[in-house]
A = this chain, B = another copy of it.
Amino acid sequence: MTDFGARLAEIVGAGHVRAGADVSADYAHDESLGAEPVLPAFVVTPSSAAEVAEVLKAASAAGVPVTARGSGSGLSGAAVPRADGILVSFERMNRVLEIDTENHVAVVQSGVTLQELEERTAEAGLVYPVYPGELSASLGGNVATNAGGMRAVKYGVTRHHVLGLEAVLATGEVLRTGGKFVKASTGYDLTQLIIGSEGTLALVTEAILKLQPRTAHQATILAPFADLDSVVRAVPKVVGSGLGPLILEYIDAMTMGAITYTADLQLGIPDQVRDTAQAYLVVMLENRDTDRLDADVEAAGELLASLGAVDAYVLPGGSARKLIEAREKAFYTAKGAGADDVIDTVLPRAALPAFMARVTAIAQANETFVVGCGHAGDGNVHLAVFQKDPEKRATVLHGLFEAGMALGGAISGEHGIGHAKKKYFLDLEDPAKIELMRRIKSAFDPAGVLNPGVLFD
């Protein structure tokens, strides 16, 4: 172990630094399809913000790159370290510090998983309503990418539920931003700036999360449509109805086939309907009162029929849960089916029909197979791209992002830019914004040690 390794061992204890052949291959990658795995020079597993601060001071002084890692379930490659760098893994900083039932707040260390938070909040009758699909994901990772998920149409995304952070600057200063309150006008909002910065501005060690009273009753409606266009045109009407759907997802027929097959899931849809359905809308409603929920389900069914649904099935609880789980795992299904990349462009939701038409045209022009599903309620389209040729694939991705941006969208709704989408980001985004972001990066991290190569070259 080098001198630098010895310094790290002094900080976190020798048992919590690994180097060279002791570094497991797991630390070389996240779940991104578009980022090359890289083994770091060191993996450290600190137990406190003070240790993180000392690691960052040492790294800044020595000019050694630092990459943060939660559970490694990210989809942008932002947790892929540098070969000459340190990977700071938050696996030991995994405590729920507080469930505050008076203020409706959870305080968690960044290594806490969504699964753990779900269990702990449920005990208190509360809920952290952001549900990015992967329950093994860490809250620190969620903060780094501003994770979203299916319930964003009702509750918003990570950004809307993080009230404050403990974060360590590259210079070793430990900051506390925000607090157990939903509003402030007291200087720049450092909390919001750090959220979504993919480990390039600061390392997050704690988060103060806003919770909601848990709503007791839910119902899920599955509505097959004869064509994708009708589905995406129905979306603004469902949102505008005032029914306040918790989930509003579209799933194309190909993806529905794949995910139900993989999950061995029977939805009880007549063969004839299934064979002609080109796409599905999944609508989940919630209410604290069953009578109100039943009335809302009936209203939603009528609305969907009026919007062109072939039928509307209220799924039994077990099937509903399985369908949502299968949808959450759609990424893995696509990966298993040999998808070469998965993207998550976000658009104004009313631009979905125009975008889907562009997707079809781009796919056909490049002899590429593109299927998908998406958070229709908030215009976030997840597309699996099947194209082995890297150059052709890059052309398709560039075309898809460009089309999304031309319709008023952005490259990623919730996965992030990381390494995987960086070249498109730098190519397509306004250069004045990129330059401003670089200056902000320098304001936080003058030595440039935090996740170099992510977002910027």
| Residues of B contacting A157 in the complex (Cβ-Cβ under 8 angstroms) | 182-183
**Roughly how many angstroms separate A380 CA and B432 CA in the complex, as a whole number?**
37
Q: Indicate whether A236 reaches chain B with its CB closer than 8 angstroms.
A: yes
| Residues of B contacting A215 in the complex (Cβ-Cβ under 8 angstroms) | 242
| A421 (CB) vs chain B CBs: closest residue | B186
CB distance from A419 to the nearest CB of B (A): 14
| Residues of B contacting A102 in the complex (Cβ-Cβ under 8 angstroms) | 236, 348-350
B412 contacts A346, CB within 8 Å? no
| A288 (CB) vs chain B CBs: closest residue | B242
CB distance from A446 to the nearest CB of B (A): 9
**Roughly how many angstroms separate A418 CA and B192 CA in the complex, as a whole number?**
20
Q: Indicate whether A452 reaches chain B with its CB closer than 8 angstroms.
A: no
| Residues of B contacting A197 in the complex (Cβ-Cβ under 8 angstroms) | 188
A100 contacts B350, CB within 8 Å? yes
**Which of A43-51, A64-72, A270-278, A434-442 is near enough to bind chain B?**
A434-442
B175 contacts A103, CB within 8 Å? no
Q: Among the listed B180, B183, B380, which residue makes an inter-chain contact with A148, where contact means beta carbons less than 8 Å apart?
A: B183
| Residues of B contacting A346 in the complex (Cβ-Cβ under 8 angstroms) | 181, 183-184
B185 contacts A436, CB within 8 Å? no
B192 contacts A193, CB within 8 Å? yes
**Roughly how many angstroms separate A417 CA and B185 CA in the complex, as a whole number?**
7
Q: Among the listed B183, B201, B412, B425, which residue makes an inter-chain contact with A414, where contact means beta carbons less than 8 Å apart?
A: B183
Q: Among the listed B175, B179, B201, B410, which residue makes an inter-chain contact with A430, where contact means beta carbons less than 8 Å apart?
A: B175
| Residues of B contacting A408 in the complex (Cβ-Cβ under 8 angstroms) | 179-181
**Roughly how many angstroms separate A434 CA and B177 CA in the complex, as a whole number?**
11
| Residues of B contacting A119 in the complex (Cβ-Cβ under 8 angstroms) | none
CB distance from A356 to the nearest CB of B (A): 15
Q: Indicate whether A292 reaches chain B with its CB closer than 8 angstroms.
A: yes
A439 contacts B443, CB within 8 Å? yes
- Kindly identify, within residues 427 to 457 of chain A, every residue whose CB is under 8 Å from any CB belonging to chain B: 429-430, 432-434, 436-437, 439-440, 442-444, 455
A179 contacts B348, CB within 8 Å? yes
Interface size on A, residues (CB 8 A): 82
B186 contacts A104, CB within 8 Å? no
| Residues of B contacting A378 in the complex (Cβ-Cβ under 8 angstroms) | 181-183
CB distance from A273 to the nearest CB of B (A): 28
A187 contacts B433, CB within 8 Å? yes
Q: Indicate whether A37 reaches chain B with its CB closer than 8 angstroms.
A: no
CB distance from A93 to the nearest CB of B (A): 21
| Residues of B contacting A189 in the complex (Cβ-Cβ under 8 angstroms) | 146, 159, 192-193, 195-196
| A144 (CB) vs chain B CBs: closest residue | B185
CB distance from A233 to the nearest CB of B (A): 9
A186 contacts B412, CB within 8 Å? yes
B176 contacts A417, CB within 8 Å? no
Q: Indicate whether A160 reaches chain B with its CB closer than 8 angstroms.
A: yes
**Roughly how many angstroms separate A182 CA and B180 CA in the complex, as a whole number?**
23
- Kindly identify, within residues 143 to 194 of chain A, every residue whose CB is under 8 Å from any CB belonging to chain B: 145-148, 152, 156-157, 159-160, 169, 173, 175-190, 192-193
In addition to A185-B414, A292-B292, 8 A-B residue pairs with Cβ atoms within 8 Å of each other are A76-B185, A104-B236, A175-B433, A181-B349, A181-B380, A185-B198, A186-B416, A187-B455
* A-B pairs, 4 with minimum CB distance: A102-B350, A180-B348, A439-B443, A192-B192
